[in-house]
Structure formats: structure tokens, C-alpha cells
Structure 1
Amino acid sequence: MSILQKLLDQNLFKKKIVSNRYDYLSAEKETNTNIYFIESGSVRIFIRDHDEERIVRFGYSGNIIVSLDSFLSGKPSDLYIQAIKKTSIKVASKKDLDDFIRSSDENMKLWILILEDLVLQQMEREKDLLINSPKERYERVLKRSPQLFQEIPNKHIANYLRMSPETLSRLKKS
């Protein structure tokens, strides 16, 4: 049984919402400690750098997403979470997750696995940003997350990969 399935089986996700395209689950300077499971649709997580948006992560069907800095610190975040298209989402509270984690050693071990996986994902993302070649960045993300290219519009993927949409289009064709 996967980590995700175990969390879903615990009925932690008690609330269900549907976000329309462009709706925000979270905006800058908000404290958001919810955990979201995306049943269908997709979201982007980004920060604003002056007038520019910089996408740092995506979520789509079958993913769990969170405003991680706010979730861990309980403080306002610099991140925005916005629906890219109509998205069906299950919501769990931090309190319910904390209660679940503390209820057994096995659940604590599960939580540690989740955090380790998040750290490894973040390290892969940082490597992607340090690689100069747009082609290499594209190939790494394609290998790691092929579903991304079916779920997310090219303009957002290009932003995530720190390249122009035209460059991404050329790379996809070659």
C-alpha cells in the first residue's frame, strides 16, 4: 500500500472543494496549514518576484500539495496556490494530520517517509534550476514527471523550467 493510499484510507481529508480556473487555494501573506489531495484538475504553486510569477511546483490528479512553509511554521507564506483549470480537491487540516501522526509509531514513521520524499523532490528541483541547458532541464523533468506534460499547459511548464514557451516548443518537437 502506498503512503498516499494510507493517508486517504485514514479519512483525514474530510472536506471537498471544487476550484474553478484561476481560483486561489492560498495567496501570499496568508497562513495556510491545510493539506490538499487533488482528485482531478491541476494547480500551480508560485511566488511573485516583482511583476513576474515564478512557478515552483505543480499539483495534478493523484498529488498531495501544501503550502509547505506555512504548514511547517504556522506563519504566512510567500506562495500562491492557484487552480489552472477546474479542480476537485479533498482537504485535510493540520490538526487532523498531527493527531494521526501522533497516534502511533507506525504513523510517525510514515510521516518521516513523507518528509524525506519532499526533501528529495526539492533537491531534484534545485538541481533542475542549476542546470544551464534548457534541453537538460526539459529532459530531467520529462523523465521524472511525464504526466506533467499531459496535465499542465506549456506556458506554465516553460515558466517552471525557466525558459521561454518558444524554447519549450522547440525542445518538445526535437
Structure 2
Amino acid sequence: MGYIRAYYEQIVKLQESEWAFIAGHFHKKVYAKNEIITQHGDTEEFLSFIESGLVRFYIPDDEYGYTFNFGFEKEFTCAYDSFLTQTPSEYEMQALTETVVWQISYDDLQKIYSHTNVGNHLGRFASEKLFLAKSKRELSLLKLTAKERYLKLFTEQPEMLKRVPLKYIASYIGITPQALSRIRRQIN
């Protein structure tokens, strides 16, 4: 849980009593490699902090589905729209490796918001961070070519290229695995 506190304290210094209250609402869970964390059609019940592992967000369709995001260590993650609205998810989350998370339920998060001043501040920060990342990705898909999107990953998210299978990278940048192979050959 120390990683969660460190994450929070990048934003605001926590009093011991605030941290004890917040920490008491998180529970550890381990997902096996390739295990589905949130199923399409299920309502997201938990906000998760990834201690270790890698999570893929995708819309199930063909062999691989349409990958549109990833979650890495030291980040909060969930099917956030489903979590906020408490409605069924339009997509799935899958652990690409064994993934250890610390989870807090929707109801427990509401308790933290209502019983601590720092909780609302932290929640706003996390929401703003998710919004900015989503906006950046959407603009990238609209403004850049597939090759430019792939090259941008080298500078902005090199960890993704090291850890995520190429078939999911291709889907993430909006192309087929074959098209990604052609781009990689052009670059080399």
C-alpha cells in the first residue's frame, strides 16, 4: 500500500489519520495472466491501483478485439465510465501479466469523499489525469498518421513498447498487425 500513499503524496501531504482511514478501505487482489478483470456488460465495482502487472482495455470483437488503453504499475485503473455511472461496461479489462492491485469499492470511495477533505482533492486529480490522457489519445488518432503514432510511443511511452505484445500495439494505434510490421520495416 506504500505505493498508493506515495502516489497520493505527490499531490497532497496526508495526515496519518487521513491515510489510515483511506488505507482501511483498500483490499488486495491478484489476477492471473490473461484473466478478465472487468467483463463486457458487467458494472465496474472497483477502482484499482496497480501495484504490479499490466492491464489492457479493449472492445471484444474478433481474435484480438479493439485495444484502446493500457494500465501500468503505480496507476489507478478501472472501467471508469462504468464505475462513475454504475452502469454496464461497454468494454473489457484484461490482465496481460499476473497483476496485483489494491481495490476500493464504489461505495467505499464515496465514504472517503464524504468523510475526508483530501479525498475529494485526490479524486479530482485522478479524474483530471484520466481526462487529459483520453483527450491526448483522441487527438493523436485524429491528427497523426499510424507511423507518427507508433513513433510517438517511442518518446512518450517506451515502457509500452517493451511490455505489450505487438498485436495489441497495432490495435492501440488503429492498424492491423500486418500494417505495423510494414511500419517497423520502414523504420529499421
- TM-score (structure 1 length as normaliser): 0.85
- Point out where structure 2 has 5 or more consecutive residues left out of the alignment: 1-8
> In the alignment, does 2:102 pair up with 1:96?
no
Q: For the residues of structure 1 that align with 2:30 and 2:12, how far apart are their CA atoms?
A: 20
List 4+ stretches of structure 1 deviating above 4 A.
3-9, 49-52, 169-173
Partner of 1:37: 49
For structure 1, which segment, 95-104 or 70-79, has the greater mean C-alpha deviation from structure 2 after superposition?
Answer: 95-104
- Percent identical: 28
Partner of 2:3: none
More strand by percentage:
1
Q: For the residues of structure 1 that align with 2:165 and 2:103, how far apart are their CA atoms?
A: 25
Partner of 1:163: 175
Partner of 1:2: 10
Partner of 1:64: 76
For structure 1, which segment, 8-17 or 113-122, has the greater mean C-alpha deviation from structure 2 after superposition?
Answer: 8-17
Contact 1:128 1:140 in 2 (8 A): no
Measured on the aligned residues, the alpha-carbon RMSD in Å equals: 2.7
Select the residue among 154, 160, 183 that pairs with 1:142: 154
Q: For the residues of structure 1 that align with 2:117 and 2:158, how far apart are their CA atoms?
A: 35
- Point out where structure 1 has 5 or more consecutive residues left out of the alignment: none
- Bigger Rg, structure 1 or 2: 2
Q: How many residues of Structure 1 are paired with residues of Structure 2 in the alignment? A: 174
Contact 1:35 1:93 in 2 (8 A): yes
More helix by percentage:
2
Return closer, same or farther for 1:108/1:152 CA change in 2, 3 Å cut-off: same
Q: For the residues of structure 1 that align with 2:135 and 2:11, how far apart are their CA atoms?
A: 20
Once the two structures are superposed, residues 125-164 of structure 1 have per-residue CA deviations (whole angstroms, 9 ceiling, x without a partner) of: 1012213511211133333322212221111111111123
